[in-house]
């Protein structure tokens, strides 16, 4: 199971900031915390990540890890840009490219959350909805 330290190390590696020059360990931890909170709100769960908020065991499923990473990365880049720390990174990008990257990661996070919600609906045993087939009349095209 993945831990907070592993996620933070991956964030440092992803953004070429292994020595926490632009984003300290606390900043990375806060980004992971905020992403996990959003996952919990969207899925109406209370998942925990080992090493975060005193949790010793992770309950976050493996299929949520890509969303957690994308969300934390988007938050981290936004934080770096907000506090004008981009000059302290080894990233070969200007502020506009970083802003666009953060937007892309946020959209990716939103799409991953939609996918997770859909998976939950599809695996629900006693769901109050049923599957139906779309039947469209061809007359509207005339």
Binned at pLDDT 50, 70 and 90, residue 140 comes out as low
Q: What is the pLDDT of residue 105?
A: 93
Tokens of 71: 């969300």
What are the boundaries of each domain within the chain? 4-120
Q: What is the pLDDT of residue 11?
A: 84
Q: State the DSSP H helix or E strand holding residue 76, giving kind and residue range, or none if neither.
A: helix 65-82
- Of the candidates 128, 112, 129, the residue with the CA atom closest to the CA atom of residue 43: 112
Q: Could you tell me if 135 and 62 are in contact, meaning their C-beta atoms sit under 8 angstroms apart?
A: no
Residue 129 has pLDDT above 70, yes or no: no
User: What is the arithmetic mean of pLDDT over 42-53?
Assistant: 90
Give the least confident one: 12-16, 25-29, 45-49, 77-81: 12-16
Binned at pLDDT 50, 70 and 90, residue 127 comes out as low
Residue 89 has pLDDT above 60, yes or no: no
3-class secondary structure, 10: helix
State the chain's mean pLDDT as an integer. 81
């Amino acid at each position: 199971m993945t831990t907070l330290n592993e996620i933070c190390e991956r964030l440092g590696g992803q953004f070429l900031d292994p020595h926490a020059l632009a984003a300290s360990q606390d900043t990375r931890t806060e980004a992971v915390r905020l992403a996990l909170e959003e996952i919990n709100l969207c899925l109406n769960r209370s998942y925990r990540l080992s090493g975060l908020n005193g949790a010793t065991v992770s309950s976050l499923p493996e299929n949520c890890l890509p969303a957690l990473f994308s969300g934390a990365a988007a938050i981290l880049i936004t934080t770096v840009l907000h506090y004008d720390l981009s000059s302290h990174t080894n990233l070969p990008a200007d502020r506009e490219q970083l802003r666009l990257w953060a937007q892309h990661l946020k959209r990716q996070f939103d799409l991953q959350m939609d996918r997770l919600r859909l998976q939950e609906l599809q695996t629900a045993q006693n769901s109050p909805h049923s599957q139906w087939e779309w039947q469209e009349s061809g007359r509207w095209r005339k």
